[in-house]
Amino acid sequence: MNGPPDRQISPLAERLLNERGILLGTLGFAADPGSVQRHGPGSVVLFHYTRPEKVDRILSKEGGLWARLPVVNDDSQPEFDNHHLVEAFLEPLPKWTTDSPYFGNLGLEMMKAYVGNLLLRVELPEDYPGLYVADYAHTLELKHIERRGQAVLNLGYDSRTGHHACRADVNSYIHLPEYRGGHLAPNAKIVRHGEGIAVPSKYITVNPYQPLSSSDA
Protein backbone atom coordinates (compact mmCIF):
# COMPACT_ATOMS: atom_id res chain seq x y z
CA MET A 1 0.00 0.00 0.00
CA ASN A 2 1.35 3.44 -0.89
CA GLY A 3 1.14 6.08 1.83
CA PRO A 4 -0.53 5.88 5.22
CA PRO A 5 -3.90 4.16 5.54
CA ASP A 6 -6.96 6.36 6.02
CA ARG A 7 -7.79 7.28 9.58
CA GLN A 8 -11.32 7.05 10.85
CA ILE A 9 -13.13 9.94 9.22
CA SER A 10 -16.25 11.80 10.28
CA PRO A 11 -19.74 11.46 8.73
CA LEU A 12 -19.30 14.99 7.33
CA ALA A 13 -16.03 13.97 5.71
CA GLU A 14 -17.76 10.94 4.16
CA ARG A 15 -20.25 13.32 2.53
CA LEU A 16 -17.61 15.77 1.33
CA LEU A 17 -15.54 12.99 -0.19
CA ASN A 18 -18.41 11.17 -1.88
CA GLU A 19 -21.07 13.73 -2.80
CA ARG A 20 -20.89 16.47 -5.40
CA GLY A 21 -21.87 20.10 -4.99
CA ILE A 22 -22.06 20.36 -1.19
CA LEU A 23 -21.95 23.98 0.01
CA LEU A 24 -20.25 24.41 3.36
CA GLY A 25 -22.35 27.54 3.82
CA THR A 26 -25.43 25.34 4.11
CA LEU A 27 -23.82 23.26 6.87
CA GLY A 28 -23.49 25.97 9.52
CA PHE A 29 -20.33 27.69 8.28
CA ALA A 30 -20.23 31.40 7.35
CA ALA A 31 -20.11 31.65 3.55
CA ASP A 32 -18.09 34.32 1.79
CA PRO A 33 -20.30 37.06 0.25
CA GLY A 34 -18.56 36.95 -3.14
CA SER A 35 -20.75 36.42 -6.22
CA VAL A 36 -20.31 36.00 -9.96
CA GLN A 37 -19.86 39.38 -11.66
CA ARG A 38 -21.40 40.05 -15.05
CA HIS A 39 -20.81 42.72 -17.68
CA GLY A 40 -23.79 42.91 -19.94
CA PRO A 41 -26.00 39.98 -20.87
CA GLY A 42 -24.30 36.65 -21.37
CA SER A 43 -20.83 37.51 -20.05
CA VAL A 44 -18.99 36.93 -16.78
CA VAL A 45 -15.98 38.75 -15.35
CA LEU A 46 -13.17 37.00 -13.45
CA PHE A 47 -9.91 38.24 -11.97
CA HIS A 48 -6.50 36.58 -12.18
CA TYR A 49 -3.25 37.59 -10.50
CA THR A 50 0.09 37.12 -12.21
CA ARG A 51 3.64 38.44 -12.07
CA PRO A 52 4.48 41.62 -14.02
CA GLU A 53 7.15 39.89 -16.09
CA LYS A 54 4.53 37.51 -17.52
CA VAL A 55 2.05 40.14 -18.72
CA ASP A 56 3.49 40.82 -22.19
CA ARG A 57 3.46 37.14 -23.04
CA ILE A 58 -0.06 36.66 -21.70
CA LEU A 59 -1.43 39.62 -23.68
CA SER A 60 0.40 38.79 -26.93
CA LYS A 61 -1.65 37.65 -29.91
CA GLU A 62 -0.66 34.02 -29.41
CA GLY A 63 -0.77 34.25 -25.61
CA GLY A 64 -3.33 33.81 -22.89
CA LEU A 65 -3.67 32.01 -19.58
CA TRP A 66 -2.05 28.60 -19.73
CA ALA A 67 -3.63 25.71 -17.82
CA ARG A 68 -0.74 24.01 -16.00
CA LEU A 69 -2.28 22.82 -12.74
CA PRO A 70 -3.74 19.31 -13.00
CA VAL A 71 -7.23 18.66 -11.70
CA VAL A 72 -6.33 16.19 -8.96
CA ASN A 73 -9.05 13.59 -9.11
CA ASP A 74 -9.56 9.87 -8.67
CA ASP A 75 -11.83 7.13 -9.94
CA SER A 76 -14.87 8.87 -8.47
CA GLN A 77 -14.40 11.84 -10.83
CA PRO A 78 -13.46 10.33 -14.22
CA GLU A 79 -14.73 13.32 -16.21
CA PHE A 80 -11.67 15.27 -15.06
CA ASP A 81 -9.07 12.71 -16.13
CA ASN A 82 -6.10 14.51 -17.75
CA HIS A 83 -7.71 17.92 -17.23
CA HIS A 84 -5.77 21.03 -16.26
CA LEU A 85 -6.91 24.39 -14.96
CA VAL A 86 -6.32 28.08 -14.42
CA GLU A 87 -7.54 29.65 -11.19
CA ALA A 88 -9.22 33.03 -10.86
CA PHE A 89 -11.27 35.10 -8.41
CA LEU A 90 -14.86 36.32 -8.53
CA GLU A 91 -13.73 39.73 -7.25
CA PRO A 92 -10.51 41.76 -7.48
CA LEU A 93 -9.60 40.99 -3.86
CA PRO A 94 -12.09 38.63 -2.20
CA LYS A 95 -12.93 39.07 1.47
CA TRP A 96 -11.89 35.48 2.19
CA THR A 97 -8.29 36.28 1.21
CA THR A 98 -7.88 39.17 3.65
CA ASP A 99 -10.45 38.75 6.42
CA SER A 100 -11.80 35.21 6.56
CA PRO A 101 -13.63 34.38 9.80
CA TYR A 102 -11.73 31.08 9.74
CA PHE A 103 -8.38 31.68 8.05
CA GLY A 104 -7.74 35.38 8.63
CA ASN A 105 -5.42 36.67 5.91
CA LEU A 106 -3.87 33.29 5.05
CA GLY A 107 -5.24 33.51 1.50
CA LEU A 108 -3.48 36.83 0.94
CA GLU A 109 -0.29 35.47 2.49
CA MET A 110 -0.28 32.61 -0.01
CA MET A 111 -1.09 34.88 -2.96
CA LYS A 112 1.86 37.15 -2.21
CA ALA A 113 4.17 34.16 -1.82
CA TYR A 114 3.18 32.15 -4.87
CA VAL A 115 0.92 33.98 -7.33
CA GLY A 116 1.98 37.55 -8.06
CA ASN A 117 0.55 41.00 -7.49
CA LEU A 118 -0.58 42.22 -10.91
CA LEU A 119 -4.31 41.84 -11.52
CA LEU A 120 -5.79 40.85 -14.87
CA ARG A 121 -9.44 41.17 -15.83
CA VAL A 122 -10.95 38.25 -17.75
CA GLU A 123 -14.30 38.68 -19.48
CA LEU A 124 -15.78 35.49 -20.92
CA PRO A 125 -19.07 34.39 -22.46
CA GLU A 126 -21.27 32.79 -19.82
CA ASP A 127 -21.33 29.57 -21.83
CA TYR A 128 -17.53 29.40 -22.11
CA PRO A 129 -16.55 25.76 -21.55
CA GLY A 130 -15.05 24.55 -18.30
CA LEU A 131 -16.12 27.33 -15.92
CA TYR A 132 -16.59 26.30 -12.29
CA VAL A 133 -16.54 27.74 -8.78
CA ALA A 134 -14.88 25.56 -6.13
CA ASP A 135 -14.39 26.01 -2.40
CA TYR A 136 -10.72 26.71 -1.70
CA ALA A 137 -11.48 26.31 2.02
CA HIS A 138 -10.60 22.61 1.75
CA THR A 139 -7.05 23.54 0.74
CA LEU A 140 -6.83 26.44 3.19
CA GLU A 141 -7.69 24.06 6.04
CA LEU A 142 -4.55 22.05 5.26
CA LYS A 143 -2.44 25.18 4.80
CA HIS A 144 -3.66 26.52 8.13
CA ILE A 145 -2.59 23.29 9.83
CA GLU A 146 0.82 23.40 8.11
CA ARG A 147 1.53 27.09 8.72
CA ARG A 148 -0.31 27.83 11.95
CA GLY A 149 -0.62 24.44 13.58
CA GLN A 150 -4.39 24.34 13.92
CA ALA A 151 -7.43 22.93 12.11
CA VAL A 152 -10.20 25.53 12.18
CA LEU A 153 -13.02 23.90 10.20
CA ASN A 154 -12.52 20.40 11.67
CA LEU A 155 -14.14 18.76 8.66
CA GLY A 156 -12.98 15.37 9.83
CA TYR A 157 -11.09 13.97 6.88
CA ASP A 158 -7.49 12.78 6.94
CA SER A 159 -5.14 15.79 6.82
CA ARG A 160 -1.87 13.86 6.77
CA THR A 161 -1.75 14.05 2.97
CA GLY A 162 -3.53 16.35 0.54
CA HIS A 163 -5.61 13.59 -1.04
CA HIS A 164 -8.84 14.15 0.88
CA ALA A 165 -8.65 17.93 0.53
CA CYS A 166 -8.12 17.63 -3.24
CA ARG A 167 -11.03 15.21 -3.60
CA ALA A 168 -13.33 17.44 -1.54
CA ASP A 169 -12.21 20.45 -3.61
CA VAL A 170 -13.20 18.78 -6.89
CA ASN A 171 -16.47 17.61 -5.35
CA SER A 172 -17.20 21.26 -4.50
CA TYR A 173 -17.21 22.32 -8.18
CA ILE A 174 -20.35 24.26 -9.13
CA HIS A 175 -20.94 25.33 -12.73
CA LEU A 176 -20.00 29.01 -12.57
CA PRO A 177 -23.17 30.53 -14.10
CA GLU A 178 -25.21 28.56 -11.53
CA TYR A 179 -23.22 29.67 -8.48
CA ARG A 180 -25.35 31.67 -6.04
CA GLY A 181 -23.04 31.66 -3.01
CA GLY A 182 -22.39 29.12 -0.29
CA HIS A 183 -18.63 28.50 -0.48
CA LEU A 184 -16.33 29.75 2.28
CA ALA A 185 -13.56 30.63 -0.18
CA PRO A 186 -15.06 30.73 -3.69
CA ASN A 187 -12.35 30.20 -6.28
CA ALA A 188 -13.05 30.12 -10.01
CA LYS A 189 -11.59 27.30 -12.09
CA ILE A 190 -11.21 27.40 -15.88
CA VAL A 191 -10.73 23.78 -16.89
CA ARG A 192 -9.63 22.21 -20.15
CA HIS A 193 -8.50 18.78 -21.34
CA GLY A 194 -4.73 18.59 -21.27
CA GLU A 195 -2.28 21.41 -20.77
CA GLY A 196 -2.66 24.46 -22.99
CA ILE A 197 -4.21 27.88 -23.26
CA ALA A 198 -7.44 27.90 -21.26
CA VAL A 199 -8.20 31.58 -21.94
CA PRO A 200 -6.94 33.27 -25.14
CA SER A 201 -5.51 36.79 -24.83
CA LYS A 202 -8.49 38.41 -26.58
CA TYR A 203 -10.50 37.95 -23.37
CA ILE A 204 -7.85 39.47 -21.08
CA THR A 205 -6.92 43.03 -20.07
CA VAL A 206 -4.93 44.59 -17.24
CA ASN A 207 -7.39 45.59 -14.55
CA PRO A 208 -7.48 49.38 -13.98
CA TYR A 209 -7.54 48.94 -10.20
CA GLN A 210 -4.56 47.10 -8.72
CA PRO A 211 -5.31 46.08 -5.10
CA LEU A 212 -1.83 44.65 -4.47
CA SER A 213 0.25 47.38 -6.09
CA SER A 214 2.91 48.91 -3.86
CA SER A 215 0.72 51.95 -3.21
CA ASP A 216 -2.34 49.91 -2.22
CA ALA A 217 -0.89 46.82 -0.54
pLDDT, one tens digit per residue, over 58-93 is 999 999 999 999 998 666 678 899 999 999 999 999
pTM: 0.91
CA 215 to chain centre: 26
The reported pLDDT for the residue numbered 3 is 39
Backbone dihedral region of 21: left (phi > 0), alpha (psi from -120 to 50 degrees) or beta? Answer: left
Please report the pLDDT score of residue 113 as a whole number: 86
Map residue 74 onto helix, strand or coil. coil
Domain layout of the chain by residue ranges: 38-206
Least confident of 18-22, 81-85, 178-182, 211-215: 211-215
pLDDT band of residue 163 (cuts 50, 70, 90) is: confident
CB crowding 61-77: b at 16 or more within 10 Å, else e: eebbbbbeeebbbeeeb
Give me the residues paired with residue 48 across strands.
120
Phi, psi (deg, nearest 5) at residue 61: -55, -40
pLDDT band at 198 (very low <50, low <70, confident <90, very high): very high
